[in-house]
Structure 1
Amino acid sequence: MLRTCLLSSKFVSSLKTSFSRNYASVSASPVAVTKSKTGITVVSVEDSAPASSVSLVVKAGSREEGADNVGVAHYLKNFAFKNTSTRTAFRTAREAELLGGFLSANLTRESLILSAEFLRQDLGYFMEILSDIIFKTKYEPHEFSNIKESVNFERGAATAIPEVIALNTAHAVAFRHGLGNSLFADDATKISNSSDVRAFANKVYTAPNIMIVGTSVNHGELLHFTDSLFQNVSHAVPSTPITSKYFGGESRISSPGDSHFVLAFLGAPAGTPDYAALQVLRFLIDGEKCSKWGEGVNVLAQKASKLENTKISSFNTGYSDAGLFGVHISGIATSVYSAARIAVEQLKHASSKISKEDFERALAKARFNTAASYETRASKTEIFGNQILYSGKVTTVNEAIAQYDRFKIEDIQSTAAKVLKSKPTAVALGDVSTLPYSDGLSL
C-alpha cells in the first residue's frame, strides 16, 4: 500500500505525598551507527519486533529551497514512488501491498523522509525500492500534471485547517526565508515542469545529505544492502543553507469562523540545553487540561476553562539552528483576546516567581513528553535521522531525559526572561478587528 503524508503528548500529574516519588527508568533500544562504504551513515534501532521499517532521511526540507524554486520540496515529495526505470508506480504499490508493506513520503521544514514499513524478512526488497527513488525515478513530463494536482489538493486540504495556516504564517513572519518557507507549494511557485524537480533531486540526493535509519532490522544486513544498492550515490557536497535568522513581526488574516491567535518568540535549536529548558517552560504555561473533567491544574488552564469555547496550548518547536516558542489560542475573538493577556501575564510571572510544585509538575510533563517522542517508529526515524544529519551524534531517550535533572527553578525563570526579551511574532486569524496586537499585550 502507498500512502503519502505531510507534516511534523501529554501528560503526567505530580502529586505531593508523604513518600517520595521514583520515576521508572526508560528502557532504551540499542542504537548502532556506522558510516557505510558509500559515504551514507546508517543508523539502526533494534526493537526485536516482527515489523520493521527503513527510512531515507534526506536534508531536503522546505528550508533548502531558494527564491527561484520555492515549493520544489513539496513536488519532490510527491514524486516519490512514481515511475522508475525498473518499475511503474502501479507495480511498486502492488508489490508492496502483496508483501503487506507500506510506503510513505513525509516532508518537514528540514527533511524529506521516504519510508517503508514491512515484515522483517523483506528488508532487501524494500531497500531496493528506496534506492530506486534516488537513482531511477524518471521524472517524466507527462507525470507532472498529476503531481501538480496532488500538490494543489494537499495545499487546499491543509489551508482548510486554521491551525495550519496560523502556525505556517508564524514561521514565515518569524524567519521569512529558510525555516519560513511554507511546506506547501502555492500558485506563485516557479516550478513549472518535472525538470525543475529533477534538478533539485540531483542537488539533494547526495551521500552527505542522506541518512538511512532502520528499526527492528539487523544492522549488518542494513549496512550490506546500503553498500550494494547505493554504491553509485553522488558524493557532491551540497551548499550550506543560510543560517536561520529570527526577525519577528505581525500578520493579520481576516477569515470567517473561530478566531486564532499565535504569540511566539525566538526558541532554541533541538537537542540543546536551552531547548530542554523551554520544554519545561512550555508545560509550566500550557493551558491544556490533563483530564476531561475539572478546570486543570495550572493557572492558565484554570482561567482558560472559564472562557467560552477557548483553547490555549503552548508549543516549543526546535530545528537544527533555531526554534520557535509560544502559545496558540483559539475560540471566540473576545475570549481569545482575554486568553492572550492571561498567557502573557503567566509568562511574565514565570520570569520572576515559580512555585516548587508548579516546577516539579512541569518537569514531570517535560520528561514524559520527551520519553513519548521516542515511542513510535516514525518518531525515532525523524529524531535519529535529524540528529545525525545536523549534529553528527545520536542522543538516546535516557540521555534526553537525564538533561532535565540539572534544572533548577532559577534556570526556568531565566529562560522565561530571555524569551520575553526577543521580538514577538504574532499572527491573528479570524475577527482581526477584535483580536489583539502584540504591542497591546504589555510585553
Structure 2
Amino acid sequence: MASKTLAAPFIRHVTTRGYAQAAPAVKRDLRVQSAVLPNKTFVAALDNGSPVTRVTIAFKAGSRFEPQGDLGLAHVLRSAAGLTTKNASSFIISRKLSQIGASVSASGDREFVYYTLETTQDNLQAALDLLNNIVSNQEFRPWELNDNVPRLKFDLAALPPQIRAVDLLHKAAYRRGLGNSLFIAPKRIGQVSSESMQHFAGQCLTPSRCAVTIIGDTQEKAALIAQNLQLPSGGDGKAEASTYYSGELRKEMGGDLAHVALAVQGAPAGSPQSLALSIAAKALGNGPVTKWGADNSPLSKAIGNIGPFAAAGFNVSYSDNGLFGVILSVPKDEANAAVKSVAKLLKGGLSADSIKAGKAQLKLQVLNEAESFSSYAESLAAQGLYTGSVKSPADIARDIDQISNNDVVQAVSNAAKNKISMGSAGNLAFVPYVDEL
C-alpha cells in the first residue's frame, strides 16, 4: 500500500471571506520584468499588487563552492543570518523586524544561498534597511559562532532520513563540488573560524554572483535594492565543473524502514532535456493523489503490494549537471525486491498515459507554486542566476505542453545509459548494493 509521505497535499481547507467589503481587484496582465545591471547583478520583479512584498537576495554561495579543506561553510552561512553585523546587534535586528511585522529567512541548496524578506508594503523601506544590513555587513564574531553551535546540532538532529539519503546520493554521484553536503559534518561543528567565514563571504557574496528579485513591486525597486547593497568586489571565478562518477554511500541508522535514493545522471538547468526529465519524474509517480486512495503510478505498480511504502520520482538540475531518480522508503524486510524493481523501472520506458499525467501534474505544480508566491521570489532568483533570464509560470506551462512524448522517452533513454548512483539510510540489512541492481 502506497503512503503519502512523499506526496504534496492535494486537498486543502478553503476559507471564505466574511466581510462585506469587496476584495481588491487583482491585476490581470502580470509579467515578470528582468534586467542585468552594469555590475552584473541580476534583478527581476513581478508587480502583482499584493499587500505583502517578498524580496529575495540570492548568491552563488552554495555548498559546491566550499573549499575541500573547509567544508560546511555554506551551512554556517545560512545559520548565521541575523547575527550581529557591523551596524546592529542581533537583538536590535530581531526587535526591529518584529516591531514592523517583517520576517527574514535564509535557505539554500548546492548552488545558491537565499535571503528572503516578507513584509507589508507600508513597512517595506524599514525592512529593506534591515535586510541590507543582514546581507551586506556580516561580521561572524567568534563568540557568536560558538553560541550558534546548538542551532547547527539541531539542524542535523532534525534531518529526515530521506534527506540524508539524497545527500549521500549526491556525494556518491559527484564526490566533490555538487557532492559537497548541504550540512556541516558533526565533527566540524564548532571548528569553523571567523576568518574562514569572512573569506568565504568575501569571495561569494559579490555583485556579479548576486540576484535580487521582488514580488509585489517594480523592477526599478529591485534595481534600487541591488544598488544599495554594500558588497565587496571580486570573487567572479566559476566553480569547477562537477563530473558524474556514480557510486554508493550507505548510513546504517537502524529502525524498521530503509530509505533509498537511486538516480542516474540528468541534465543541466534550463535545457529542454531537464524539462523532459521533470515530466518523467512526475510520470513515475508521486504517491496517491487522494487521501487513502489507490496509487496507480508506474512506481507503485513496479513495487507491488509489499505493505506501507512511499516512493516518488525526482529530477534536480544544476548549472552544469543533474540527477534523475527515485526516493523510496520501504519496510526493511521488503527492501531488496523493492529497490531492484525501482532500479529496473528507472532504466525502462514510460507509457504515453503516464507521460500525459506527468505533464499535467508538473504544470499544476509550477502554476500552484507561482500562485502562492511563497517561494516564487527564490525561484526567479535561481532562474536568473542559472540562465540570465526568467520565464513566467505561463511560459513554463507552454514549454511543458510543447515537450512531446518522444522527447520524454528519449531524455529518459539517454539518462538510463549512465550508471546508477545510490544513497541509503536507515535499516539497510536487506538493501542491495548498487552493483547488484
TM bracket (short chain): 0.7 to 0.9
Kindly provide the amino acid, as one letter, of the partner of residue 334 in structure 1. Answer: D
Which segments of 5 or more consecutive residues in structure 1 lack a partner in the other structure? 1-8, 13-26
Map 1:318-397 onto structure 2 (within 5 A): 318-350=317-349, 354-397=350-393
| SS of residue in 2 equivalent to 1:375 | helix
Shift of 1:38: 5.3
Are residues 91 and 373 of structure 1, via their aligned partners in 2, closer, same or farther at CA, if it must alter by over 3 Å? same
Task: Give the distance between the partners of 2:119 and 2:185, measured in 1 at CA.
Answer: 34
Residue 247 of structure 1, aligned match among 239, 245, 261? 245
Q: Please say which of residues 55-64 and 245-254 is displaced more in the overlay.
A: 245-254
Answer whether contact 1:43 1:212 (CA < 8 A) is retained. Answer: yes
Kindly provide the amino acid, as one letter, of the partner of residue 375 in structure 2. Answer: S
Which segments of 5 or more consecutive residues in structure 2 lack a partner in the other structure? 1-7, 12-27
TM-score, normalised relative to structure 2: 0.88
Answer whether contact 2:142 2:194 (CA < 8 A) is retained. Answer: yes
Task: Give the distance between the partners of 2:234 and 2:427, measured in 1 at CA.
Answer: 50
Answer whether contact 2:339 2:431 (CA < 8 A) is retained. Answer: no
* Matching residue of 1:142: 143
Task: Give the distance between the partners of 1:123 and 1:38, measured in 2 at CA.
Answer: 24
Answer whether contact 2:52 2:120 (CA < 8 A) is retained. Answer: yes
Task: Give the distance between the partners of 2:347 and 2:35, measured in 1 at CA.
Answer: 46
Kindly provide the amino acid, as one letter, of the partner of residue 120 in structure 1. Answer: Q
Q: Please list the CA deviations of residues 25-53 of structure 1 after superposition, one character each: whole Å capped at 9, or x if unmatched.
A: xx773212234465533211112110111
Residue 404 of structure 2, aligned match among 405, 408, 418? 408
* Matching residue of 1:77: 78
* Matching residue of 2:200: 200
Shift of 1:171: 0.7
* Matching residue of 1:233: 231
* Matching residue of 1:23: none
Are residues 405 and 377 of structure 1, via their aligned partners in 2, closer, same or farther at CA, if it must alter by over 3 Å? closer
TM-score, normalised relative to structure 1: 0.86
* Matching residue of 2:315: 316
Answer whether contact 1:310 1:335 (CA < 8 A) is retained. Answer: no
Kindly provide the amino acid, as one letter, of the partner of residue 100 in structure 1. Answer: G
Answer whether contact 2:165 2:261 (CA < 8 A) is retained. Answer: yes
* Matching residue of 1:430: 426
* Matching residue of 2:435: 439
* Matching residue of 2:20: none
Q: Please list the CA deviations of residues 87-141 of structure 1 after superposition, one character each: whole Å capped at 9, or x if unmatched.
A: 2111111111111111111121111111211011222222211221343223222
* Matching residue of 2:217: 217
Q: Please say which of residues 294-303 and 378-387 is displaced more in the overlay.
A: 294-303
Answer whether contact 2:325 2:346 (CA < 8 A) is retained. Answer: no
Q: Please list the CA deviations of residues 323-351 of structure 1 after superposition, one character each: whole Å capped at 9, or x if unmatched.
A: 1111111121232322223323433441x
Length, aligned pairs only? 412
Q: Please say which of residues 129-138 and 243-252 is displaced more in the overlay.
A: 129-138
Answer whether contact 2:30 2:47 (CA < 8 A) is retained. Answer: yes
Are residues 411 and 382 of structure 1, via their aligned partners in 2, closer, same or farther at CA, if it must alter by over 3 Å? same
Answer whether contact 1:307 1:335 (CA < 8 A) is retained. Answer: yes
Shift of 1:162: 0.9
Shift of 1:176: 0.9
* Matching residue of 2:104: 103
Answer whether contact 2:270 2:386 (CA < 8 A) is retained. Answer: no
Superposed CA RMSD: 2.3
* Matching residue of 1:90: 91
Answer whether contact 1:53 1:116 (CA < 8 A) is retained. Answer: yes
Map 1:279-318 onto structure 2 (within 5 A): 279-286=278-285, 288-302=287-301, 304=303, 306-318=305-317
Kindly provide the amino acid, as one letter, of the partner of residue 216 in structure 1. Answer: G
Answer whether contact 1:295 1:302 (CA < 8 A) is retained. Answer: no
Shift of 1:79: 2.1
Kindly provide the amino acid, as one letter, of the partner of residue 56 in structure 1. Answer: I
Task: Give the distance between the partners of 2:30 and 2:250, measured in 1 at CA.
Answer: 46
| SS of residue in 1 equivalent to 2:411 | helix
Answer whether contact 2:54 2:116 (CA < 8 A) is retained. Answer: yes
Task: Give the distance between the partners of 1:319 and 1:386, measured in 2 at CA.
Answer: 10
| SS of residue in 1 equivalent to 2:375 | helix
Task: Give the distance between the partners of 2:142 and 2:424, measured in 1 at CA.
Answer: 41
Are residues 237 and 259 of structure 1, via their aligned partners in 2, closer, same or farther at CA, if it must alter by over 3 Å? closer
Are residues 239 and 222 of structure 1, via their aligned partners in 2, closer, same or farther at CA, if it must alter by over 3 Å? closer
Task: Using the aligned pairs only, state the percent identity.
Answer: 25
| SS of residue in 2 equivalent to 1:435 | coil
Are residues 318 and 378 of structure 1, via their aligned partners in 2, closer, same or farther at CA, if it must alter by over 3 Å? farther
Task: Give the distance between the partners of 1:325 and 1:303, measured in 2 at CA.
Answer: 18
Q: Please list the CA deviations of residues 258-291 of structure 1 after superposition, one character each: whole Å capped at 9, or x if unmatched.
A: 1112211111122211111112211222251111
Kindly provide the amino acid, as one letter, of the partner of residue 110 in structure 2. Answer: R
Shift of 1:67: 1.2
Answer whether contact 1:334 1:434 (CA < 8 A) is retained. Answer: yes
Shift of 1:436: 1.5
| SS of residue in 2 equivalent to 1:374 | helix
Shift of 1:302: 4.1
Kindly provide the amino acid, as one letter, of the partner of residue 66 in structure 1. Answer: P
Are residues 154 and 349 of structure 1, via their aligned partners in 2, closer, same or farther at CA, if it must alter by over 3 Å? closer
